[in-house]
Amino acid sequence: MPWRTSSTMSQRHEFVLLASQVEANVRELCRRFGIGSATAYKWLNRFEAEGIAGLKDRSRRPHHSPARTPAQMEEIVVALRRKHPAWGGPKLRQRLLDVNYKDVPSASTITAILRRHQLLDLTESDKHKPFQRFQRAAPNELWQMDFKGEFTLPHGRCYPLTVLDDHSRFALALQACGRNTRNNTQKTLIAVFRRYGLPDAITCDNGSPWGSSCRGHYTKLSVWLLRLSIAVTHSRPHHPQTQGKDERFHRTLEAEVLRYQKGDTLIEWQAHFDYWRHIYNTERPHQALAMKVPATCYQPSPRAYPERLPAIEYGPTDIVRKVRGHGHIKYHGRELLIGSAFYGLYVALRPTTIDGFFDVFFCQHRIKQLNLRQPEDA
């Protein structure tokens, strides 16, 4: 089975990095990448023997020359910096080591080279100091999702949608959307789920299409995620640092892509995003990962995306009610607000240890608590 035509080298590189990890499920990765096992092991063997060069269709070129002089190394450093103008000395050095250059100078020497060639912007360097943040213990425990603002095109606007794994900083999606709508978000997530599986939880902000303060904070998108057994959490209002890794990713996207690239259409910007996402995941050393690349710290989830939503089931002792118009259920003669996003679906009420208090569950997720001792018009 052939590789998909778009970004063939990028897909090969991402595949071999994921499949080379300990306990990787190569057969499942083949299914998600749409290739046969023979093709997969061919590229794995070539990658093991030759590195990135082995993934090319043409014969590989050597990465270094034994007779390379310091002047030639300086030219290599300058060329790499021009290719990645937001990378500093530590990242450039690590990248040169990753592609097997010999006699790579220290990070401080590389910084000095950048300074000599007037390639060092001290103002920009101050903006990108690393953060020390908590991270989840394993891939797919938590994904962070958000739109990176918006910018104007000659005909319309572009809303970059980003999805990032909290543990590995692996960029699961960077999609150029024409609008920040539920349909665009869900379409992108379905493609991500089919490739990388389902996470345990996703965190997002409180704006559309993730959340709403009108008739409960759940939306049709978050209800869809709950049905897939994905917990949905929201950042605190006016506290973007709750999604600190995605915010940091946005800053990197701004510094390395939006600041330099041009495009008049969503197709052109998607090409820029696809190219850079591959670099970010497989080439760009990450300081928070001890200068490793995200793809070496990420593994797809074993929870495959179901093409049909699972049935909603509750226990025999649950009090089950169907959510009616305007997001209400009826219980003991009272109209109780659940949320308009649940319209037409069933929820379960379970009494708590406190008299008159009930937990409300949708599938296996507790979505709110009701106080039946409170006056109905309160």
- Indicate the pLDDT class of residue 244, thresholds 50, 70 and 90: confident
Which residue has better confidence, 202 or 2?
Answer: 202
Average pLDDT over residues 311-337: 92
Is the confidence at residue 215, as pLDDT, over 60? no
R_g over Cα of the chain: 24
Average pLDDT over residues 134-159: 89
Phi and psi of 63, rounded to 5°?
A: -80, -20
Q: Which residues contact 112 (CB under 8 A, 6 or more apart)?
A: none
Which DSSP string do the residues of 304-373 spell out, in sequence order?
Answer: PPPSSPPPP---TTSEEEE--GGGEEEETTEEEE--GGGTT-EEEEEE-SSTTEEEEEETTEEEEEEETT
Is the confidence at residue 212, as pLDDT, over 80? no
- State pLDDT tens for residues 63-103: 554 544 478 888 898 888 888 888 888 888 899 888 888 88
Token couple for 102: 């010999």
The pLDDT, as a whole number, for residue 105 is 87
**Residue at 131: amino acid letter:** F
Could you give the CA distance from residue 109 to residue 113 in angstroms, rounded to a whole number?
6
| Predicted TM-score (pTM) of this structure | 0.77
User: Using CB atoms within 10 A of its CB, is residue 330 exposed (0-12), middle (13-18) or buried (19+)?
Assistant: exposed
State the chain's mean pLDDT as an integer: 84
* Residues 153/155/160/161 CA torsion (nearest 10 deg): 170
- State pLDDT tens for residues 249-290: 899 999 999 998 999 999 999 999 999 999 999 998 888 888
Q: Which residues contact 269 (CB under 8 A, 6 or more apart)?
A: 153, 158, 160, 176, 261, 263
3-state class (DSSP) for residue 282: helix
Q: Which helix (H) or strand (E) holds 259?
A: none
Q: Which residues contact 7 (CB under 8 A, 6 or more apart)?
A: 274, 275, 278
Residue with tokens 């994905």, as numbered in its chain: 230
Could you give the CA distance from residue 351 to residue 348 in angstroms, rounded to a whole number?
10
- Helix residue ranges per DSSP H, the chain: 8-19, 26-33, 37-50, 70-83, 89-98, 107-116, 122-127, 182-196, 220-227, 244-253, 266-282
End-to-end CA distance of the chain: 63
Token couple for 273: 């995003």
